[in-house]
Every structure is written in C-alpha cells, then in structure tokens.
C-alpha cells in the first residue's frame, strides 16, 4: 500500500468512527475534519455533539415517529448498520432544513432521530439517501485487499441521484419500508 492509500484509508476510518454527518464533510472537506479531530479529539467530539444540540429548538417544530425497514428486493434480508438520511424538500423554519438520521438495527427495523433518539422526523416531504454500514469487526485492509464490497447501490448515496422520497405526516401512521436492489444490478 502506498503512503497515499494508507492516508486515505485512515481518513475513511476517522469519518466512519466519528459518524461525521455527510453535509459537514462536504462543507469542510474530509482532510480538514480529520485534521481537526486528530489535534483536538475531545474538543472534536464535544464540538460534534454541540452541532447536534444547536438548532434542535425550531420554535415548536416537532418530529413524528416513523417505523420502517430497509431490505433487498425480493428477500427479507436486511442491511444492519446502514444509515438513512432524510432531508426535507422545503425549509422548515426560517430557511433551515431539519435533517433526520436513521440506523438499521440487527432485526432490520430503522430507528429515526431528529432531536432525540427515536423521535422520528419533521412533517413534510423528504429526500432520502443511504450510507454503507460500518466496516465489519476485524476487517483488515491489507489481508482483504481494501474496502469491503458495497452493500448499497451508488445511486442511493447522493441526493442528486436517489429516487427515494417519503412524506411524514402528523395525522398518519408513518411507515417507511425501503426496498433496494443489490449493488451491481440494474
């Protein structure tokens, strides 16, 4: 492995380890974030936690519980550890978009969080993207030749290409069952 490949691998691990939000990575850049976290690890963790706390009070805007699953098409197979990000199509309050993050549990159920764990998402139509689950425990880049095979097709990893949408309502049972094809299939 070249020094550049090793550095890239370490940056990927740092981003996944700290579960840095995709939007923050795109704004600041992966190198700046990882450098910041390496120089100030405690400050970095506290800073990321405070980013989640700032903006949780949107003048009475509330989240509505969502129940759902993520499975492969034609099977009952789930993708434990995969991450679901939901962003409202329209700003909620004073131009702010209140995003929601969900994590697929071992049983396939998704726990969605906006302000508090498990509270759901704000009302309205949402765009959805998916992220790969964390690396398997004990994954060795050198012995296994790099990254594990993808579990999520590329089209679902970007808001510009994902066709996943969901309407959250205050008056309905919000059920989101996402079914995707396996990577490499069209």
State both tokens at 92: 């909620």
Q: For the chain, what is the largest distance between any 2 Cα atoms, rounded to a whole number of angstroms?
A: 55
Q: Is 165 exposed, middle or buried (0-12, 13-18, 19+ CB in 10 A)?
A: exposed
pLDDT at 163 over 50: yes
pLDDT at site 61: 80
pLDDT at site 17: 44
Q: What does the alpha-carbon distance between residue 122 and residue 7 come to, in Å, rounded to a whole number? A: 38
Nearest CA among 2, 35, 30, 28 for reference residue 16: 30
pLDDT in tens, 16-66: 444 444 444 444 444 444 444 444 444 344 444 433 333 334 457 889 999
pLDDT at 4 over 70: no
Average pLDDT over residues 65-83: 94
**Domain 58-186, second-level architecture:** Sandwich (2.60)
Asked which of 18-32, 67-81, 159-173 is least confident by mean pLDDT, the reply is 18-32
Q: What is the pTM of this model?
A: 0.65
pLDDT at 153 over 70: yes
Q: How many CA atoms lie within 13 A of 25 on its CB side?
A: 12
Average pLDDT over residues 164-183: 94
pLDDT in tens, 88-146: 988 766 667 788 999 999 998 999 999 899 999 999 999 999 999 988 777 777 776 77
Separation in Å, CA 104 to CA 68, 71, 134: 9, 10, 11
pLDDT at site 70: 95
Every domain of the chain and the residues it spans: 1-54, 58-186
pLDDT at site 151: 93
Between 59 and 70, name the one with better pLDDT.
70
Q: What does the alpha-carbon distance between residue 65 and residue 32 come to, in Å, rounded to a whole number? A: 35
């Amino acid at each position: 492995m070249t020094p550049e490949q090793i550095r890239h691998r370490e940056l990927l691990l740092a981003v996944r380890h700290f579960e840095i939000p995709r939007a923050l990575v795109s704004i600041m850049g992966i190198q700046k974030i990882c450098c910041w976290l390496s120089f100030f690890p405690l400050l970095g963790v506290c800073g990321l936690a405070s980013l989640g706390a700032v903006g949780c009070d949107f003048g009475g805007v509330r989240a509505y519980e969502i129940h759902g699953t993520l499975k492969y098409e034609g099977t009952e197979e789930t993708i434990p550890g995969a991450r679901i990000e939901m962003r409202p199509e329209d700003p909620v309050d004073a131009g702010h978009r209140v995003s929601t993050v969900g994590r697929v549990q071992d049983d396939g159920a998704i726990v969605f969080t906006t302000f508090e764990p498990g509270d759901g998402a704000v009302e309205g139509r949402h765009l959805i993207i998916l992220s790969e689950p964390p690396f398997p425990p004990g994954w060795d880049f050198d012995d296994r030749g790099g990254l594990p095979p993808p579990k999520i097709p590329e089209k679902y990893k970007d808001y510009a290409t994902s066709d996943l949408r969901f309407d959250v309502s205050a008056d309905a049972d919000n059920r989101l069952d996402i079914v995707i094809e396996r990577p490499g299939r069209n």
